[in-house]
Structure 1
Amino acid sequence: MVDKETYYEGVLDEFNKLDTAKEKKRFYEEIDFSPKIEKEGDSKIIQQLQMFYEMPFVDVKNKNPIEKPIEPQIKSLMESGKLFDHLVLNELEKVHVGDIKAREVLLLCAIGRRVKNRNPFSFNVLLLTPSSSGKDHLIKGVLKLFEKNDVWESYGRISETTLNYLHAKSEEEEDFKWSGKILYLPEISNKVLNNEIMKEFTSGEDSNEVSVVAITKRKQKGVDIIKVCGKPEVFCSTAKTIPSEEIRNRFNIVGLDLSEEQTERIFKFEGGVIDAAMRKFLSEMTEREVRIPKKIMDFMIKNFPKDKLRFRRDFRRLEDFIKAHARLYSRAIANAQDYNRGKDVFINAFANASDIPLKDVDKEITRILKEKEDAQTASEIHKEMDKGEKFSIKTIYEHLAELEKKEIITSFQDRLLAGYYVTKYMLTAEFKDEKPFTLPVYEE
């Protein structure tokens, strides 16, 4: 840099020698901006470097596709930071009334499929709500923002066998990849939700990885080795299937508005047509990496709760929600707006134990524990049950164990006067909603 007239001219010269955007961004992050500006040209150099840093990520060496020209209306919404809200409040209002929070979750998860460095468990959605509440109407409405076949596929009441062999046998589909696609499965059954292929779709470290799964053939006649190329974002709905703890870790569990006010809104709903330019823009969005700058990451790490093991995965999901919002705006580096909107949608998608529907016997157990001020033993709960005569004490113990796995109740050993111990049960603070999940706003 010594042959250049000023320090910043030397920096720009070194910067321009680099081949790829990735190298240039790494170089930018290591630049020392403390030296004084010596002349007007230095200010322009700094501005030029900063503009590059905010540009969409384009890796010339790896030939990542360049974004196509954007329609003026969409570009204006992007520049004003209002594109996401426009899609949620204006475009989706044409196909589904109300349920704003659920709209936000589904839309951001659909956009998240184009974040290259995402986790396979971040953008799967299980819409868990009673029959006739509009769950599939909402999912279909969100999917109208994207081209069918190019972006999403739907299979109604699919069997676990059919799921095993989707895109697995045809020679015509040798190049088929799930990555970047949405797999929509309405009214999913428990067997399909807990299927081995489903677990493969929603686990791992890389959404683009190719993996193999051994599937036991019917009547135990050997196994089939299935190659799974990439991982889709799975959208599914159910009124009856209760997700296990494992599934809760891999899906965003979302409910809908069941109020009379929402029913009245549905009565009045007329609908409209999705803007074709918006559909084209969202469908043609390419897959790109997005990074969260250190100052925002440090803020997230400081403020994210750490008292549950599940938060290790939830934190990664929060990262991906922020990246998805940034990806919509073609930002390679997430900013404060991406964090604040991403964390709001993440909180909407965050399923507490109290959000999970319960079986009748479990409802009765939680009712008793809610009414009692003190923790109760299994025998005390059994005596209080309205339908106690229908359930053995063994059954009560089994349900208590399941409720504890779901973080609905917690147990502890209590020492009695006689010197021996008994197990007592009480509702968790999370289930009683004493500690709702919150995250602070980030300000520059």
Structure 2
Amino acid sequence: MTQGTGGRTPKGTTDPLALGRAIAEADRRAAHALNLVPSENRVSPLASVPLGSDFANRYFFNTAGDPLFWEFRGGEDIAHIEALGAGALRRMASARYCNLRPVSGMSAMILTVAALSAPGSAVVSVDQDSGGHYATPALLGRLGRRSRLLGCPGGRVDTEGLARALAPGDVDLVYVDVQNCVRVPDFTAMADVVRRVSPATRLYVDASHYLGLVLGGLVENPLRCGADAFGGSTHKSFPGPHKGVVFTEGKEIDESLRAAQFDLVSSHHFAQTLALSLAALEIEPRIAEYARTTRDNARRLATALADAGFRVHGDRGAGYTDTHQVWVAMDSPAAAYTLSNRLAEAGIRVNLQSSMPRMPGVHLRLGANEITFQGAGPRAIEELAAALATARERPLGPRTASGIRARFGAPFYTDPEKLGVEAGLCTC
């Protein structure tokens, strides 16, 4: 018996059929869950179609559509969809170039570091106490680069510290890698220091967590702020599949990325790329509304939790957050785990973190991105906050999640029934 999902997982069996049925049953339950994990999102029924298709088995390299270059067959009839998706992403990013080869945010990081810095050079990234990604310094070391860390607490850039880090003249790349973020760094301030102190240094913004907010115009576009490139994973605040993307205005940078990808990326996961393309084309007309609603819901959730007695990180007067993330301090690890378990039993998933910036202990890092994509509005957010408050005291009822979901409005994707009728697609 596996607790926390309300279902059974066969133990002690290696029967593939039984295990497959267990996955299918867990997936049916997951379809009704309310997910508050900021680093996850849900692909739409339309965007999920390629993921169960034959294209999950195929390589695709002929992005130019050269009729003499079909070394790997199978993608001829739908290759143009990838180009259409790249076009939608470029428009949303206001970027000349869009690289779809990374298979994840980490893949995009490796590709970017390899393309924009040389072995032995220094790379400046954000320290973990300021929300920087835990893996960046170690990854840089494995790639033969020297890590140099920058403080950026609460999004406030230590410009003097950045200038000192750049002063020796050995920094090829400033990699802005904030993963825990309720405030976004000032990219313009960073770009100004880089151009003044070390003009040859490249500035890259890993916008994985707030990519959907950048594409929706709610967070400043790093390219307009002076960054050389930006990108990251496509399944957090942007409602796409697990993939990675990199945007730039510079032809030289685009060419460097393409040169590096030849060695670092073989299969770019064609089905996932098609899914990303469909996700981009589907959300593009509503990306601004989705981004704004996501932040509004995050602020509404933060305020409701604070009103319920939770210790929400941030300034109430400033809405607690500028992104999709909401941080809630817990009294103890035991309290955090008890709350998480009770919520999971009721179909509400939260994210526990033990590495929050300047918040020692185990706390909640919540996200409004997925529930917003699915149609959550003010009433659903209020009821969700009430459920979290109740779960501090006692277990929740089995219909809690379904009751909250009943308050959802229209989602930011195509109605599955309409999709099945008009396109003849399987939505089972």
What's the TM-score once normalised by structure 2's chain length? 0.29
Greater length-normalized contact order (CA 8 Å, ≥ 6 residues apart): 2
Which of the pair has more CA radius of gyration? 1
